[in-house]
Amino acid sequence: MLPAATGLHIGIEVAGTLAFALSGIVEAARKKLDAVGVCVVAGVAAFGGGTLRDVLLDRRPLFWIEQSWYVWSILLLCMAAMWLMRAKHFRPTQRSMQWPDALGLGLFAATGTQIALGLHMPALISVLMGVITATFGGVLRDIVCNEIPTAFHDHHPYAVCAFAGGWVVVVLQWLGFDPDWVVTLGAATATLLRLAALHFEWRLPSWKLDGDD
């Protein structure tokens, strides 16, 4: 069983939640949604992956219901972000969403894997729970905004990065590393791999159909 959550672990969970919420705010702003739409998209991005993980692992209550201040934090972030975007005339772009999205991916991949390990799930299942935590919020965000999910179509490694970060968590925990270092290094691995994939244009194989160039 995992040790009690430390201040660093809680901080990482909060940072991951806010990072994904910010990615949702940027995407909602790109789609020119109203205030309600912005809050809904931010909430779906922030809570979607962790909610599905908790449902699959039969954890009750859901993490954002047990810690309701998460919801207040997202609402305050939405209001502050909308005010700053209007005041500074910030123009949201697809590129501006990549940094918070990559950060949320890494943080949630590590914490999701560690939570599953704490519930004595097998290593592979724990890593998959980390991938679900890290990716499903972004998938829901894109679906709500009427986009093909980034995780499925941009051909840059995304879920693969979360998968790699999850295995770092599994290996380091098996080696007996301090839990803070385990989640930090796992999160850093997934985030840096995603940013490197975007920077160096690493791509996954894609389908080639007759007539394609």
Tell whether the model's pLDDT for residue 4 goes beyond 50.
no
Is 204 part of a structural domain of the chain? no
Alpha-carbon distance of 161 to 87, in angstroms, equals: 36
Q: Is 58 left (phi over 0), alpha (psi -120 to 50) or beta?
A: left
- The answer to whether residue 208 sits within a structural domain is no
Q: How high is the pLDDT of residue 201?
A: 85
Angle formed by the axes of helices 98-118 and 35-56, to 10°?
Answer: 30
- Both structure tokens of 13: 């969970």
Distinct helix (H) and strand (E) counts, the chain: 9, 0
And the tokens for 41? 């998209």
Contact 93, 133 (CB under 8 A): no
Q: What are phi and psi of 206, to 5 degrees?
A: -125, 165
Q: How many domains does the chain have?
A: 1
Residue 42 buriedness (CB in 10 A; 0-12 / 13-18 / 19+)? buried
Tens digits of residue pLDDT in 133-175 = 999 998 999 999 988 887 787 778 889 999 999 999 999 999 9
Q: If you compute the radius of gyration of the chain from its CA atoms, what whole number of angstroms results? A: 17
Q: Do the domain assignments include residue 164?
A: yes
Q: How far is CA 172 from the centre of its chain?
A: 21
| 191 pLDDT more than 50 | yes
Considering the entire predicted model, what is its pTM? 0.85
Where in the sequence is the domain holding 12, given as residue range(s)? 7-199
Report yes or no on 211 lying in a domain: no
7-16 mean pLDDT: 76
110 occurs within a structural domain: yes
Task: Using the Cα atoms of residue 162, residue 188, residue 193 and residue 196 in order, give the sign of their dihedral.
Answer: positive
The token pair that represents 157 in the structure block: 């490694």
